[in-house]
């Protein structure tokens, strides 16, 4: 009887210890298909082809907006996403029941970006890795590293592609609504990542190698923060064709303007850091200007929806 009671107590203790565990689950995609090493993907309607071998990036400074607008900052939590090797990342145990939005950054914050990686235990995301994700004390970490090979036909995909985003200037913030589901140990925050969008406005069909901070990695980082991520409540196939729109100035003080193809945007919504949604009027013209002087300073997400239902998330900062 004592043995049975002890085993039951241990079982209950283990359940309690893991209850409330919050995990980030990312559905890694390329052109709407599961992302796999060695697979060849048709890009830009078959204009060129890409075979990935390495897709990694850092996520830092996360805040979960949950249970009616509560904010829980995940202190000292870093994730090194390996898009070709891992989809679930345990973030820790928190008092969270239902998640409405997630605020996170791509890269490593300035303070940690220039510390010694040898100070961390090997399992820590910021420890030295092989292949390395660290450029040295002065430069810091590779915020995003994408490697593979490209070609103009599916049979010949041999030209090298290497894009490594390095530099504090490439640190990007994302705030977006997300879905969450119950798991055996707590709750999962679900994201879909469409990595084909990383190459928007980049000429990669004949290969491209660029390491550091420059035009190519600025575009890469902007694509990561505005085009790649979505909630799986919208189909992956829809997400591969994002709304083509430009928003400026950003950061803004009071007014922002959106320019898009005629009829490309059906609805526009402004989402604050607490997950509150406000519908914005959309003009039938190619250009729409909104007065946001009534909104507080902070980070927002502009959610644009096309007539076919595809969506694009544009981070917007208001500074007074």
Q: What are the tens digits of pLDDT across the range 238-297? A: 333 456 788 888 778 899 989 888 778 888 988 876 667 788 999 888 889 999 999 988
Q: Where are the alpha helices (DSSP H) in the chain?
A: 2-18, 110-113, 215-223, 236-239
In contact, 191 and 175? CB cutoff 8 Å: no
Segment 183-200 shows an average pLDDT of: 91
∠ CA 179-28-231, nearest 5°, is 20
CB 197 within 8 A of CB 242: yes
Q: What CA–CA distance (Å, rounded) separates 175 from 231? A: 12
β-bridge mates for residue 229, sequence order: 193
CATH superfamily of 245-318: Macroglobulin (MG2) domain (2.60.40.1930)
Structural tokens at position 52: 């990935």
Closest CA to 195 of 55, 86, 311, 303: 55
Q: Which residue has the higher pLDDT, 300 or 203?
A: 203
**Strand 172-177 and strand 229-230: pairing?**
unpaired
CA distance 151 to 74: 41
How far is 276 from 100, CA to CA, in rounded Å?
9
| Count of beta carbons in the 10 Å neighbourhood of residue 67 | 13
Closest CA to 25 of 180, 160, 129, 166: 180
* Burial class of 304 by CB neighbour count within 10 A (0 to 12, 13 to 18, 19+): buried
Domain ranges of the chain: 20-233, 245-318
Against a cut of 0.75, is the pTM above it? Answer: no
Which residue, 89, 121, 124, is CA-closest to 104? Answer: 89
Provide the pLDDT confidence category of residue 314 given band limits of 50, 70 and 90.
confident
Q: Can you give the pLDDT at residue 17?
A: 36
Residue 8 pLDDT class (50, 70, 90 cuts)? very low
- What is the rounded average pLDDT of the residues 161-166? 98
* Mean pLDDT of the residues in the chain: 86
Instruction: Confirm if 175 and 103 have CB atoms less than 8 A apart.
Output: yes
Other CB atoms within a 10 A radius of the CB of residue 185 amount to 16
């Amino acid at each position: 009887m004592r043995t049975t009671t002890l085993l039951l107590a241990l079982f209950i203790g283990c359940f309690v210890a893991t209850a409330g565990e919050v995990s980030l689950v990312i559905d890694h995609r390329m052109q709407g298909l599961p992302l796999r090493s060695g697979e060849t993907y048709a890009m830009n309607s078959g204009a060129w082809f890409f075979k990935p071998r390495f897709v990694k990036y850092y996520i830092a400074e996360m805040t979960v907006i949950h249970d009616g607008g509560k904010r829980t900052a995940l202190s000292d939590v870093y994730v090194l996403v390996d898009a070709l090797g891992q989809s679930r990342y345990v973030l820790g145990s928190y008092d969270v029941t239902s998640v409405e939005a997630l605020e996170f950054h791509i890269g490593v914050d300035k303070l940690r970006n220039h510390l010694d990686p040898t100070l961390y235990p090997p399992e820590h995301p910021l420890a030295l890795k092989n292949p390395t994700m660290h450029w040295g004390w002065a430069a810091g970490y590779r915020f995003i590293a994408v490697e593979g090979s490209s070609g103009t036909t599916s049979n010949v995909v041999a030209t090298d592609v290497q894009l490594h985003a390095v530099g504090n200037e490439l640190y990007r913030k994302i705030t977006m609504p997300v879905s969450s589901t119950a798991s055996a140990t707590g709750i999962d925050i679900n994201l879909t990542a469409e990595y084909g969008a990383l190459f928007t406005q980049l000429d990669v069909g004949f290969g491209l190698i660029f390491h550091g901070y420059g035009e190519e990695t600025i575009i890469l980082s902007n694509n990561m923060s505005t085009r790649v991520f979505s909630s799986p409540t919208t189909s992956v196939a829809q997400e591969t064709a994002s709304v083509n729109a430009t928003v400026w100035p950003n950061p803004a003080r009071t007014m922002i303007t959106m320019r898009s193809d005629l009829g490309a945007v059906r609805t526009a919504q402004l989402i604050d850091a607490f997950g509150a949604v406000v519908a914005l009027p959309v003009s039938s013209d190619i250009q729409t200007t909104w007065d946001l002087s009534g909104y507080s300073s902070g980070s927002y997400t502009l959610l644009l929806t096309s007539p076919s239902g595809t969506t694009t998330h544009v981070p917007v900062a208001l500074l007074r």
